[in-house]
């Protein structure tokens, strides 16, 4: 081979390597970056963490095992830069748990589920129609109390929240301000056990009355509009913690509500990604993914149901995420392309 041909061959190989490296870099803009996520302590939030993790990994990032932390500890860790993000921000509900300098060093991005964090009371649809139940006030009526009284104490039994949960305090507030303590008995045993019992009662054709939140397996097994209905509180009377967000205690467009809008009595939250600003500035691909990723409440509730039925290991959740990506591949690829474009 002549010297000229050898030189040309070397130049060609060098060019091909350069092109290949540039393509790999463009395809995986996060290559060489290690990401430190946090994760909520409630397992109904694990699914979206696993999906975002897969997205970051496909973009080339190395994602460390998520640290499961209580909300205030996570937000403090995020502000300190010890963690980079989590997918489990409930706003404005979590505002009171943020450190004072939070928005100086961190922020919220996108909407994992806009108005996805609903809370309220649901009643079996058959009884809603039979007794014309519109709000908690209807449980003062003798015939309604009798229908929902399981233990014979003269009160309607409500599957409520265990002691120590935030919702327990709100339910206690409702029973007080609406003068319902003599009419409704909040059952505060294990929520999972209580809802399993309620589901069994519903399947047996009996009335059910329970508190729940979304996303949650309960609204997958007992579908609002088909099996159960969201009911109103008599009027909006916020407790101290709710006062700054009183306008978000009434919500329009809720599927399966007895009225539109409906007075839920709980603050409706947007589920959002919270992330450290420095991490976002250095990683435009991750930032873009966080801004555009969204998932339906129905999809999360369906996955939460799988966990409630035993598929709850980390391996199971990872598989659920991969299955969701495969079922939404066209949209997923579009999101990743947008993230790669943002990094150019």
Would the pLDDT of 10 be above 70?
no
* Banded model confidence at residue 125, pLDDT cuts 50, 70, 90: very high
178 inside domain: yes
Q: Helix, strand, or coil here: 217?
A: coil
pLDDT of residue 1: 58
Is the distance from CB of 263 to CB of 249 less than 8 angstroms?
Answer: yes
> What are the tens digits of pLDDT across the range 139-166?
999 999 999 999 999 999 999 998 888 8
* Residue 153: exposure state from Cβ atoms within 10 A (0-12, 13-18, ≥19): exposed
Residues 6+ apart with CB under 8 A from 88: 38, 39, 40, 42, 45, 48, 49, 271
Q: How many angstroms separate the CA atoms of 270 and 302, rounded?
A: 19
How far, in Å, are 9, 15, 24 from residue 12 at the CA level?
Answer: 5, 5, 18
For residues 133 and 263, state if they share a domain: yes
Per-residue pLDDT averaged across 18-35, rounded? 73
> Given a cut of 70, is residue 277 above it in pLDDT?
yes
Mean pLDDT of 108-137: 97
Assess if residue 335 is contained within a domain: yes
Predicted local distance difference test score (pLDDT) of residue 3: 62
Q: Are residues 284 and 155 in the same domain?
A: no
| Strand ranges of the sheet holding 209-213, from the earlier edge strand across to the other edge | 184-187, 156-159, 209-213, 119-124, 228-231
Mean pLDDT of all residues in 95-106? 94
Q: Based on the fold, state whether residues 132 and 174 are members of the same structural domain.
A: yes
pLDDT at 21 over 70: no
- Residue 307, CA distances (Å) to 63, 154, 165, 197, 315 in order: 23, 36, 21, 17, 11
Mean pLDDT of the 38-47 span: 91
For residue 264, is pLDDT > 80?
A: yes
Q: Are residues 336 and 202 in the same domain?
A: no
Same domain for 222 and 308, yes or no, is no
Of 248, 267, 286, which marks where a domain is finished?
267
Residue 173 · residue 266 · CB < 8 Å: no
Nearest to 174 by CA among 266, 241, 80: 266
Residues 73 and 191 in one domain: no
Q: Does residue 188 sit in the same domain as residue 204?
A: yes
Whether 81 is covered by a domain: the verdict is yes
Both 296 and 258 in one domain: the answer is: no
Predicted local confidence at residue 15, as pLDDT: 47
Q: Which domain holds residue 56?
A: 29-116+271-342
Residue pair 316/86 in contact (Cβ under 8 Å)? The answer is no
Dihedral sign, CA of 13, 14, 19, 21? positive
* Residue 24, in any domain of the structure: no
Q: Mean pLDDT throughout 307-323?
A: 95
Q: Is 18 helix (H, G, I), strand (E, B) or coil?
A: helix
pLDDT, tens only, 183-215: 999 999 889 899 999 999 999 999 999 999 998
Check whether 18 has a pLDDT greater than 50. Answer: no
Catalogue the E-assigned strands of the chain: 34-35, 38-39, 62-63, 67-68, 85-91, 106-117, 119-124, 156-159, 184-187, 209-213, 228-231, 250-251, 262-263, 269-276
- Which of 168, 125, 94 minimizes the C-alpha distance to 255? 125
The predicted pLDDT at position 241 comes to: 87
Q: What is the CATH number of the domain that holds 94?
A: 3.40.190.10
Whether residues 202 and 106 share a domain: the answer is: no
Residues 188 and 220 in one domain: yes
Residues 124, 241: one domain? yes
Asked if the model's pLDDT at residue 65 lies above 60, the reply is yes
Alpha-carbon gap, residue 132 to 99, rounded angstroms: 46
In a domain, 11, yes or no: no
* Closest to 253 in 3D by CA, of 90, 115, 113: 115
Examine residue 2 and state whether it is found in any structural domain, yes or no: no
For residue 305, whether the previous peptide bond is cis, meaning omega lies within 30 degrees of 0, is no
Average pLDDT over residues 12-29: 57
Residue 16 lies in a domain: no
**253 part of a folded domain:** yes
Out of 246, 267, 288, a domain closes at 267
Q: How many domains is the chain partitioned into structurally?
A: 2
Backbone phi, then psi, for 213, in 5-degree steps? -135, 165
Do residues 190 and 233 share a domain?
yes
The pLDDT tens digits for 165-179 are: 889 999 999 999 999
Query: Among residues 240, 267, 294, which one ends one of the domains?
Result: 267
Judge whether residue 6 has pLDDT over 90.
no
Q: Is the dihedral of CA 169, 310, 72, 279 positive or negative?
A: negative
* pLDDT recorded at residue 91: 93
Q: Which two tokens stand for residue 296?
A: 């339906």
Residue 137 belongs to domain with CATH number: 3.40.190.100
The string of pLDDT tens digits covering residues 221-248 is: 999 999 999 999 999 999 998 999 999 9
Q: Is the pLDDT of residue 11 over 80?
A: no
Average pLDDT taken over every residue of the chain = 92
């Amino acid at each position: 081979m002549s010297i000229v041909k050898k030189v040309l061959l070397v130049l060609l190989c060098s060019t091909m390597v350069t092109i290949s490296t540039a393509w790999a870099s463009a395809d995986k803009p996060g290559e060489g970056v290690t990401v430190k996520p946090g994760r909520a302590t409630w397992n109904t939030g694990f699914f979206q963490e696993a999906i975002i993790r897969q997205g970051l990994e496909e973009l080339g990032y190395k994602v460390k095992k998520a640290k499961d932390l209580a909300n205030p500890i996570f937000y403090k860790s995020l502000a300190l830069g010890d963690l980079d993000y989590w997918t489990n921000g409930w706003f404005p509900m979590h505002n009171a748990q943020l450190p004072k300098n939070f928005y100086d060093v961190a922020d919220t991005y996108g909407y994992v589920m806009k108005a996805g964090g609903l809370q309220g009371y649901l009643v079996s649809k058959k009884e809603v129609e039979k007794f014309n139940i519109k709000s908690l006030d209807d449980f003062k009526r003798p015939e309604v109390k009798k229908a929902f009284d399981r233990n014979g104490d003269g009160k309607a039994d409500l599957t409520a929240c265990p002691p120590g949960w935030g919702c327990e305090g709100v339910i206690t507030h409702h029973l007080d301000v609406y003068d319902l303590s003599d009419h409704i008995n909040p059952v505060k045993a294990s929520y999972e056990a209580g809802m399993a019992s309620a589901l069994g009662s519903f399947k047996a054709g009996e009335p059910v009355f329970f508190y729940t939140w979304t996303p949650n397996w309960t609204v997958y097994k007992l579908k609002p509009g088909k099996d159960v209905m969201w009911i109103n509180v008599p009027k909006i009377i916020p407790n101290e913690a709710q006062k700054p967000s009183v306008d978000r205690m009434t919500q329009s467009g809720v599927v399966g509500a007895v009225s539109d809008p409906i007075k839920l009595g709980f603050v409706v939250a947007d589920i959002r990604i919270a992330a450290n600003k420095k991490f976002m500035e250095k990683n435009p691909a991750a930032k873009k993914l966080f801004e555009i990723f969204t998932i339906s409440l129905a999809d999360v509730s369906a996955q939460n149901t799988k966990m409630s039925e035993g598929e709850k290991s980390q391996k199971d959740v990872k598989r659920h995420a991969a299955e969701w990506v495969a079922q939404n591949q066209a949209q997923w690829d579009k999101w990743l392309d947008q993230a790669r474009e943002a990094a150019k």
